Structure 1
Amino acid sequence: MENMLNKRVLTGNEAIARGFYEAGGIIAASYPGSPTVEILEKLKEYEEIYSEFSTNEKVALEVAIGGSIYGVRSIATMKHVGVNIASDPLMTFTQTPTKGGFLLVTGDDPGLSSSQNEQDNRIFGKFANMGIVDPSDSQEAKEFTIKALELSEKFSIPMMLRITSRLCHSRSVVTINDRIVPNYTRGIDKDFQKYCMIPPQSRDKQFFMKERLEELEAYAYETELNLLELKENSDTLIITSGLMYNNLKELDIDASIWKLGLLYPISKKKAKEITDKFSKIIILEEMKPFIENELKLMGINCIGKELFRFTGELHQHLIEEGLYKAGLVESVKTADFKLKETVMRPPVFCTGCPHRPTFDILKKSKAKIVIGDIGCYSLAAMPPFEQSNTIISMGASLGMIKGVQKAMDLYNETQPLVAVIGDGTFFHSGLPGFINLLHQRKEKQNITIIILDNRTTAMTGGQSNASSGLYNESDDMKVGIKTLIESMGFDRVKEINQYDYKAATKLIKEEIDYDGISIVVANGPCALRYNIEQPYYYVEPHTCISCRSCIKTACPPLRMVKYEGIDKLKSSIDKDMCIGCSVCAQVCPVNAIKSSVPVDRRNEI
């Protein structure tokens, strides 16, 4: 019987972290973002590895680059759009020789379960001249992490591990092994031609990149990372990679399968040797036709996106539909799985979220243009608040509001403009936008920036940031947002307690009326992260006038109910859900909502 003591059931994210640990990895950096956030969280459990959530993905990549250049195995993990932020150092670093193994883990998101776009970072990997591996389950996620670091050192090339949301969060059995630390040759090489990317060296590096990719392609001819499964008497070959391999296997199709673990570069020689034996070549892959295009560039006749859709996840039903179109199956037997319809529950701010009162105030203000950003507060774009005209990318609200204002100015149009940005996004990519607001500003330009400071990167799981007071997790370092903004040269910077509805309303309306650039730092700790809980509130039904002012704040404990002996529906608060933030009591015009303990404790939050 196989020894089960070294078996674990791990998610893909956990398996990658385990693989980096077993490979003797030393430096790990990330910026939190679904679907990859748990990799770094798991790596933090290993004392032998230095792990950090960096200020943004660019900095995370640079931290990992530093470790690699010093000679130790390093990893940077991020969601797919994070690679956009990291692309500046990435596109230059990949020209240099790799000393310590370097691995970039990118989490793609087919179906956009938690992302603003569906970009396919396999294209980015090729664009950056990296080798790409694509695991199909948690065991391979661990193995490929180790192997990619080895290949990185063997061929002096940065590697990309490309995973998807489904693999990140699905679980399978993984074999656990001991940590083996390579005999590192540590230190920075004093050879400016290696790492100083100025034009003379950069020109030479174009040939260097080409040569090492050719060497990696030669390795791809015989690599064990790729798997060929031949089906007797079959004239059809299906080429696939990643999680699609498992979906395909479950269908038990009468066709041979070539699974690409080493996704890029593909060995031209091997591809032609294999495909020449088949009359029909089908490519199964999610999103862009990456493998399909690579094979067509080799002159191989194949079909893929003619059969399978270009967006979203490909489940068995959709795969079988595509194979039916290709004439490979006689009928579609798998059921098109559909969830039973339930009562719609749109996403809302958490109970006691400090951002709720701010957007309720904005909704009642005269600001008609509110430029949003990326964070929990993106929820304000939806009912009942509907207080974001745009949401594009992290930090974009600041540049966009300036562009809107300048366009209005050229047409002599005036109206209040508001932008909102969270504390995590402020540190991630907001600082350049703030500094740019000072450039060519006029005295009379009605712009109000609200910085929503809940002292955490909440949307991705409550990770610490520079506003948390525990940024380094071993000390109490905290960057003061108001002080930092004032040091830039802004002369109108105010702070509010988001839970103090009356004071916050007065200040926000004053700043919106102010004819110039004003900045409001709206403070209030994340109720979920900091486990805020105060005496619950309740409704006096005979005082309640059913105006629904409290209901319109969309706090989950609030609902309209029928009280015994009262005809009209009245407000009610689920005391088990209420955390006592008091916002509902403050918006009530008739004082019908009371604290279960007759003490005003808002200032203790």
Structure 2
Amino acid sequence: MGCKKKVVLSGNQAIARGFYEGGGKVAASYPGSPTVEILESMKEYEEIYSEFSTNEKVALEVAMGASLYGSRAMASMKHVGMNIAADPLMTFSQTPINGGFVLVSGSDPGMASSQNEQDNRIFGKFANMGILAPGSSQEAKDFMKFALDISEEFEAPILIDISSRTCHSRGIVELDDRVEKEPSGFEIDQEKYCMLPPNTYKAQYFMRKRLEKLRQYAYDMPINTLEEVDGSDTLIITSGLMYYNLKELNLPVSIYKLGMVYPISTRKVRELGERYEKIIVLEETMPFIENELKRKGIECEGKRYFPFTKELHIEDIEEGLFNAGVVRERRLTRVEPMDTVSRPPMFCAGCPHRPIFDILKKSKVKVIGDIGCYSMAVLPAFEAAHTNISMGASVGMIKGMNKAMRQNNDDEPIAAVIGDGTFFHSGLPGFVNLLHQADEEDNMTLIVLDNRTTAMTGGQPNASSGRYNVDDDMDASIKEILNAMGIKNVIEVDQFDYNKTREIINGELKKKGLSVIIATRPCALRYKIKEPYFYVDPEICIGCRSCVRTNCPPIRMKKYEGIDKLKSSIDPDVCVGCSVCAQVCPVNAIKRSK
């Protein structure tokens, strides 16, 4: 037989490939870094139905339905997405699995693109799931296939916990052919699938027995590997990416690498521990493996030597093992970052969010923020959003703050912003709740930033995308939905008509009652919108920087030949012709090119 084909894949692409090779049928997700590319990569596999669902809860439910029918199914999401999906997950994990079911959670040690650093291994244990932790692209592919197999063998949902660095790093992967797994169909069995008492009472014992079988299987599970070094008095227990970082140090120590981090065969670890003077657990974020072993009476150390937060790089591992007495001499020098000019993320050229936040900043109103591209309004130079907690939170928070203000005789207006993707994800219940105990003396202005895409994660479609792009099949009208709820004061604006939008926003802020403003311009980047560019006439420009303060990337101050004072300029290669800068110029020095 010839050699198998090898390709270079990211961890995310490898997860998708593993699902394909393992006979996967249905995959659902909600876009969020670091796992967006998993579902994006599914598009090349015609045998798989895949979708970006409205939110993570719905994505999980889509995969649940397919699994109950007997099809191999997968849901993927970033780590905080499991919070949204927790309600169905915590009950579904009580039922037997029919078709193999895998939930992929993308963790984010160091919070490179997340609002927190929660360790979903704890969540997986809470939900009584088996948990696998791949550390390379090859493992990501192999572990997905393995997870589908053991999910069906043990009738258990399996969690794959994969770190952001493993998701995005690339490695050589050996490809295999797809193995078809025909669905068995859904057979009615209310005791198994209707989670009401007394069925749930029986389900608890089923879960316990299922986990114990998995624990016994873990004793010599093929993805748990032992590398013993003669003369080593230390056993390091680790998993995932931490194994590969540890191997970079080339230390003369024995390593037990866990492919499945829950449940752990404590019998195996106890037997190994008898051969070593000390056991050290190497893991990022929470001391999950360490606590599992200590709970079973196995002496070990871990977080005593390693940080409880951030990514653990090779230097961190060497330093921790030096403090533990395993490394005798440190060889690595920690390189301190250079003192450079800060370059925070910013809105793209022509971003339709920019004029909204320029107006809000100038209005000096308190703004309840939300999660999306518009989260960048928190950062310099806007600093025009004043809270940022979780998706959809702005709608409930503005109501709670308004009611508290009213109790305190504070009638200051407040505003909240929410994007269209987040509106459909988790904003709808909050908007309905605004009608509960509404008072005409309330003063709340909510701005829905409807750019017709889920922009921050790469421009995936959402329920309003079809109103601009005929290639998308959902064209829900946010205004019609809000009107149908009973919210009558809903105004649509074109935020690139800057002066009119400013007049409407400031007018609604002064009004009592509930106001909703929908800003309707689509994402310039997603839809590649480019109009004739603008330029500055330096002879007219007075150098007031009004245009610069809109914080659009093409605009900067520069020195013109023959003119002493710095004047504004616009890079024509970057400008997309949105016209906001021209509208804020007090002397009409900014003009559109032909």
Task: Give TM class, smaller chain.
Answer: over 0.9
Distance, in Å, in 2 between the alignment partners of 1:413 and 1:507 is 23
Identify the match of residue 246 of structure 1 among 240, 244, 247: 244
Distance, in Å, in 2 between the alignment partners of 1:400 and 1:184 is 45
How many matched pairs?
Answer: 594
User: Structure 2: which 5+ runs fail to align?
Assistant: none
- The residue identity in structure 2 corresponding to 1:546 is G
Distance, in Å, in 1 between the alignment partners of 2:355 and 2:152 is 53
- The residue identity in structure 1 corresponding to 2:285 is M
Distance, in Å, in 2 between the alignment partners of 1:445 and 1:41 is 43
Distance, in Å, in 1 between the alignment partners of 2:472 and 2:82 is 30
Query: Is the alpha carbon distance of 1:463 and 1:585 closer, same or farther for their aligned partners in structure 2, counting shifts above 3 Å?
Result: same
Aligned to 2:60: 61
Query: Comparing 429-438 with 331-340, which one deviates more in the overlay?
Result: 331-340
Aligned to 2:522: 525
Aligned to 1:461: 458
Asked if 1:129 is matched to 2:128, the reply is yes
Asked if 1:448 is matched to 2:445, the reply is yes
The correspondence of residues 31-430 of structure 1 with structure 2, limited to 5 A, is: 31-186=30-185, 188-367=186-365, 369-430=366-427
Aligned to 1:603: none
Asked if 1:563 is matched to 2:560, the reply is yes
Query: Is the alpha carbon distance of 1:472 and 1:32 closer, same or farther for their aligned partners in structure 2, counting shifts above 3 Å?
Result: farther
Distance, in Å, in 1 between the alignment partners of 2:157 and 2:76 is 13
Secondary structure of the corresponding residue to residue 448 of structure 1: strand
| Contact map agreement 1:229 1:256 (CA 8 A) in 2 | yes
Secondary structure of the corresponding residue to residue 9 of structure 2: strand
Distance, in Å, in 2 between the alignment partners of 1:313 and 1:192 is 45
Aligned to 2:431: 434
Distance, in Å, in 2 between the alignment partners of 1:152 and 1:41 is 24
| Residue 514 (structure 1) shift | 1.1
Query: Comparing 530-539 with 464-473, which one deviates more in the overlay?
Result: 464-473
- The residue identity in structure 2 corresponding to 1:497 is D
- The residue identity in structure 1 corresponding to 2:537 is E
Distance, in Å, in 1 between the alignment partners of 2:20 and 2:560 is 59
Distance, in Å, in 2 between the alignment partners of 1:185 and 1:346 is 52
| Residue 298 (structure 1) shift | 1.1
CA offsets 1:403-437 (integer angstroms, 9 cap, x no match): 10111111221110100000000000000000000
| Residue 54 (structure 1) shift | 0.1
Aligned to 2:586: 589
Distance, in Å, in 1 between the alignment partners of 2:320 and 2:560 is 56
| Contact map agreement 2:69 2:183 (CA 8 A) in 1 | no
Aligned to 1:25: 24
Secondary structure of the corresponding residue to residue 110 of structure 1: coil
| Contact map agreement 2:452 2:468 (CA 8 A) in 1 | no
Distance, in Å, in 2 between the alignment partners of 1:470 and 1:239 is 53
Aligned to 2:480: 483
| Residue 99 (structure 1) shift | 0.2
Distance, in Å, in 1 between the alignment partners of 2:30 and 2:473 is 20
Distance, in Å, in 1 between the alignment partners of 2:375 and 2:495 is 17
Secondary structure of the corresponding residue to residue 199 of structure 1: coil
| Residue 379 (structure 1) shift | 0.6
| Contact map agreement 2:26 2:71 (CA 8 A) in 1 | yes
| Residue 343 (structure 1) shift | 2.6
Query: Is the alpha carbon distance of 1:316 and 1:470 closer, same or farther for their aligned partners in structure 2, counting shifts above 3 Å?
Result: farther
**Cα-Cα RMSD:** 1.3
Distance, in Å, in 1 between the alignment partners of 2:562 and 2:445 is 48
Distance, in Å, in 2 between the alignment partners of 1:522 and 1:470 is 14
Distance, in Å, in 2 between the alignment partners of 1:593 and 1:79 is 43
| Residue 474 (structure 1) shift | 5.9
| Residue 441 (structure 1) shift | 0.9
| Residue 366 (structure 1) shift | 4.4
| Residue 337 (structure 1) shift | 3.5
| Contact map agreement 1:464 1:471 (CA 8 A) in 2 | no
Query: Comparing 534-543 with 422-431, which one deviates more in the overlay?
Result: 534-543
Query: Is the alpha carbon distance of 1:548 and 1:471 closer, same or farther for their aligned partners in structure 2, counting shifts above 3 Å?
Result: closer
CA offsets 1:510-542 (integer angstroms, 9 cap, x no match): 111111100000111101000011111110111
Distance, in Å, in 2 between the alignment partners of 1:56 and 1:151 is 27
- The residue identity in structure 1 corresponding to 2:427 is G
| Residue 342 (structure 1) shift | 3.1
- The residue identity in structure 2 corresponding to 1:353 is C
Query: Comparing 461-470 with 202-211, which one deviates more in the overlay?
Result: 461-470
Asked if 1:15 is matched to 2:9, the reply is no
Identity %: 63
- The residue identity in structure 1 corresponding to 2:171 is S
Query: Is the alpha carbon distance of 1:471 and 1:254 closer, same or farther for their aligned partners in structure 2, counting shifts above 3 Å?
Result: farther
Secondary structure of the corresponding residue to residue 495 of structure 1: strand
- The residue identity in structure 2 corresponding to 1:477 is M
Asked if 1:507 is matched to 2:508, the reply is no
Query: Is the alpha carbon distance of 1:337 and 1:393 closer, same or farther for their aligned partners in structure 2, counting shifts above 3 Å?
Result: same
| Residue 2 (structure 1) shift | 7.6
Distance, in Å, in 2 between the alignment partners of 1:67 and 1:152 is 14
